[in-house]
Amino acid sequence: MKLFDRDLSWLSFNYRVLMEAMDQSVPLLERLRFIAIYSSNLDEFFRVRVANIRNIQLIDKKKINKRIDFNAQTLLEEIHSEISHQLDEYGAALKKIIEELREKNHVICMHTDEIPKQLNAQLLHYFKTKVSAFLRPIEVTNHQPLFLDNQAIYLAVELKLGKVEIVNIPTQHLSRFSSFKIGDRTYYIFLDDIIRLHLDILFPKRDIISAHSIKLNKDSDLQIDDEFAGNLVKKIEKQIQKRNLGIPSRFLFDINMSNELISKLAKKLELMPEDMITGGRYHNLNDLFQIDIKNTDCIYPSMQTVSVPQLESSRSIFESIEKQDRLLHFPYQSYDYVLQFFNEAATDPDVREINVTFYRMAKRSIIAEALISAARNGKKVAVFMEVKARFDEENNLEWARKMRAAGVKIIYSLPGLKVHAKVALVKKSDKMYGFFGTGNLNEKTSEIYCDHGLLSTNEEMTKELSEVFQHLLTRYTPPPFNQLIVSQFGAIEAFISKIDREIQHSEAGREARLIIKINNLQESRLIEKLYEAADKGVDVKLIVRSICCLIPKENLRVKRIVDRYLEHGRVFYFHNDGAQEVYLGSSDWMNRNLHRRIEVCFPILEDRMKQEILTILKFQWQDDVKGVWLSQQIENVRPVNEKNIRAQTSTFEYLRDQYG
């Protein structure tokens, strides 16, 4: 079975992000933000995926007498080749954006030579009173080890007589950019350059030859040897502290650095040739997010969320849900309804119990505060906290401590599994209210992620959700699920069964089609079944935002959408000879989701709600503005723009019409 490599497929997705930065129809500051997103994505790719391949490489070296494993080495070469091509376009795109911003009197100074002399006094004052407090130069010597923080940026300063000093750029304490107004123009100056301009103060009476930016990425995945023995939380906390000690995965350095200095640093940091990546004058350009321009011509127009009149007019969200289940679409509709669900649960005297799963929490979580209030109001509150959510471990642990101190029962990660489900259950003496989501219970990300959420009192669904929580809380083995599709409890088999049913319809001469919208597609059994379905005449439509290991073919097309909001919802549609089935859920079709996580997918039962989902899917499939086709060469191919349909805009308009 032929498949795309998952890492090369991901790079194809990140290039699609870069395409938005190059799209002249995107507002100027938003294009700059797509540059920042691309940079941030690539940085994480090196810290996790490339580091993982390098780990495999190191293990194979030990196993086979220091002979590099051919597959790992070849893949690394392909990755670096693709990234090199992308970075050429990235540099050209950034240069064009900076030029266009300059025309609008917003000047991002890309060299100290571009900084107006009128600012010298202000910059000197800022350096002396703020910046210098955080500078800790390290002399590079033969007898002392050199340690660089993961992902941090530094200046490698060459001094006379062969001396080298490493100067930290303290972006964890100070903004990366300082802005100054001169007449009609606003200048944005890198913190790096403010330090460069004043190195003579940092190194008085020493001749400075050059100062170049460097950065070291390290393996940032947590390495937990045995999740089943001992205290898992303590192991995670310990590994978080060790994140700075991972093996190198990329050393970025200014292309203008001397070969002598490059060699000296490579030797000192014990780097391999494949770790060495040439870059520009500045690194960590995800910091471009910090540039905030108020000019409305430079940003996306504001979008007014669509109200749900029945929820707005009701004094109790529970009373409204009792009358009718409510399907919500974020960010088109306000996440305030979800917050109201938790806030009311915290104060309603009839609520006895609240169960919630968290994967990635907001730093200032109103939901968590509501749960703390609920516990203090005497309700039984149990939270399953996933503390293995990469790069959110510390925030999740901190919230877990706060909630536990207030009397919330906290259950931490399951050994060998992550809990990625996005669900909550509120229990009264006579009724249960469920929240089923495709995205995290996180009010911050809900503003920029396209997700769906269902508020329901359906007895079968809430009963099965209660069984899920019983499993999480007590390791109880639930009976088979009839409504929900839950990974670790036959999810792959359930999806395969539904695809097989479409194959049977096709073989019987009936209409057969399915639409799967997910973020990532990798699981080989499901890909094989999709290939089979397409070969047997089923019309297979896939909307896959990021990784897609499946190769498109006849009857099997793949669309990728990247737009203003991050497409995050997972939708599963099966025509079923007209008895249509629609499921939403938290699960992608990746090995990790289906084999190593607890995921919950849930049915949409009401015809009205099914129609809403199918209409949104139709917009997405027809999107010829922000949608691209994935080619058999893993390329993003723009469709012929005939209908000028932009899914996110059309969804807003459709929901406004639906909800008045």
**Among 168, 152, 1, 30, which Cα is nearest to 101's?**
30
The strand pairing partners of 178, in sequence order, are 189
* 458-473 burial: b if 16+ Cβ within 10 Å, else e: beebbebbbbbbebbe
Structure-token pair, residue 213: 């930016």
Neighbour order of strands in the sheet with 208-218 = 138-139, 164-168, 153-159, 208-218, 248-254, 276-279
Residues 545, 608: Cα–Cα separation, whole Å? 26
Sign of CA dihedral 505, 507, 512, 515: positive
Cα within 13 Å of Cα(60), Cβ side: 13
CB atoms < 10 A from the CB of 304, how many? 8
DSSP 25: T
DSSP 651: H
Helix, strand, or coil here: 541? strand
Sign of CA dihedral 318, 322, 327, 332: negative
Residue with tokens 């306000």: 334
107 to 176, 182, 396: CA distances (angstroms): 15, 11, 39
Provide long-range contacts, Cβ within 8 A and 24+ apart, for 277-281.
Answer: 277/80, 277/250, 277/251, 277/252, 277/253, 278/252, 278/253, 278/254, 279/213, 279/215, 279/252, 279/253, 279/254, 279/255, 280/91, 280/254, 280/255, 281/110, 281/111, 281/192, 281/212, 281/213, 281/254, 281/256
Residues 491, 600: Cα–Cα separation, whole Å? 9
Helix axes 607-622, 647-659, angle to 10 degrees: 150
Helix, strand, or coil here: 585? strand
Concatenated DSSP letters of 342-406: HHHHHH-TTEEEEEEEESS--TT-HHHHHHHHHHHTT-EEEEEE-TTSTT-HHHHHHHHHHHHHT
CA torsion 531-632-77-281 (nearest 10°) is: -130
Q: With contact defined as beta carbons under 8 Å apart, do 636 and 546 qualify?
A: no
CB atoms < 10 A from the CB of 122, how many? 12
Instruction: State the DSSP H helix or E strand holding residue 479, giving kind and residue range, or none if neither.
Output: none
Peptide bond before residue 331 is cis, with ω within 30 degrees of 0: yes
**Among 212, 209, 240, 235, which Cα is nearest to 224's?**
235
CB atoms < 10 A from the CB of 485, how many? 22
Structure-token pair, residue 206: 């020493």
Catalytic residues: 420
Rg, Å, the chain Cα set:
27
Q: Which runs of consecutive H residues, i.e. helices, occur in 104-141?
A: 120-129
